[in-house]
Amino acid sequence: MPEATVPDLTEILKDSPSNWGKWGPDDEVGSLNYLGAEQVLAAAQLIRTGKVFTLQRLIGDPKGDPVWPGRSPAERTQIMDEATWDTDDAPAFPGGLHYADDKINCFLQGSTQYDALGHVWFDGQIWNGYDCRTTVGGLDKASVEPIANKGVVGRAVLLDMARFRGKPNLDKAETYTHEDLQACAKAQGVTIEKRDIILIRTNFLKTFFDLGDKFYEGFCEPGLVYSPELVHWFQDMEIPNLVTDTIANEVTTDPNNGAALVLHNALMRNLGITLTEICDLENLAEDCAADGQYAFFYAAAPLKVAKGSGAPVNPIAVK
Ligand code: UVW
């Protein structure tokens, strides 16, 4: 679609629902307010075998780190190692201590991560109506810090869209709706309950490793596609957190209007739903297919980064 004909997000989302003010004028965690002690205790009942799955991708993967176009992969630099002590000016510690040190230069959204609620906006306002100027020089409002302080714990369901569609991975620009999510859940024999954390497997990032640089040609990830009905469903279901194995959680360019990341705005900016991206759901999905248990205990807390627009995370699923 030529850019000139792409409507503004203001126009696309003019009737889209909002949760601004629902948790007070100072709220910075949005729909995570749906997760309290009751949800944690109910989720704990799903722990049956003690199987643990970590859902983060490797940072500094020798095979490459998939990132949003324009971001660069993490760079790990070795600062100290045994070679440090090959030189005469090496630090000498009493007792002969040697050690390894390193650092990473990494986009906060450059690996598996939670987006802060203030990460995206349009029309001059971020989540809860805060002025977008509060993002200048770092997020004074709705940064990742309050999410990190709260933590995310509850019942999660895995919706394996790739397996549901009978393919190893979803294709570039392939879309699905909330109705497809429900059909997938039904086929898997699991019910999506109110306040569930929703995990969606596409295995699309397999193509990053298969295609190399060609992965970014005509970049358009598969994912959920905006409709008013979908946004109402997420609101009515009180979904606190949407977790996917793609870089940006939704179809990159909406095929119906040509706009980019419409759901980032409809779900995150307007409803306060936290987005978690670039997860590795492969081991978990394999296990769910084997034992048929698609609902489980989920816990995650991004790193506490002051004013951060997001932060890396290693979520954990326990069955
Ligand atoms: C953008 O918002 C551009 O990307 P992401 O949500 O993947 O960090």
Q: How many A from CA of 68 to the centre of ligand 1?
A: 7
Alpha carbon distance 139, 184 (integer Å)? 37
Which domains can be identified in the chain, with CATH numbers? Answer: 9-65+111-318 (3.50.30.50), 75-104 (no CATH)
- List the beta bridge partners of residue 312: 113
Q: Rg of the chain's alpha carbons, rounded to an integer?
A: 21
According to the model, what pLDDT value does residue 2 have?
A: 52
Pocket test for ligand 1, best of 261, 263, 265, 273 (most atoms within 8 A of CB): 261
Residue nearest to atom 8 of ligand 1 (CA): 109
Q: Is 68 in the pocket of ligand 1 (CB under 6 A)?
A: yes
Q: Is the separation of the CB atoms in 2 and 259 below 8 Å?
A: no
Average pLDDT of adjacent 10-residue blocks, the chain of 319 residues: 80 97 98 98 98 97 94 95 96 97 96 98 98 98 98 98 98 98 98 98 98 95 98 98 98 98 98 98 98 98 98 98
Q: For 121, phi and psi rounded to 5 degrees?
A: -165, 170
pTM: 0.97
Pocket test for ligand 1, best of 67, 72, 112, 115 (most atoms within 8 A of CB): 115
Q: Is the separation of the CB atoms in 19 and 272 below 8 Å?
A: yes
Atom of ligand 1 nearest to the CA of 309: 8
Helix ranges (H only) for the chain are 9-12, 37-44, 144-150, 161-164, 178-188, 206-211, 228-236, 262-263, 282-291
What b/e sequence results for 21-43 when a residue is b if at least 16 CB atoms lie within 10 Å of its CB, and e otherwise? Answer: eebeeebbbbbbbbbeeebeeeb
- List the beta bridge partners of residue 311: 114
Q: Is 247 in the pocket of ligand 1 (CB under 6 A)?
A: yes
Distances (CA, A) of 231 to 18, 121, 269: 10, 16, 12
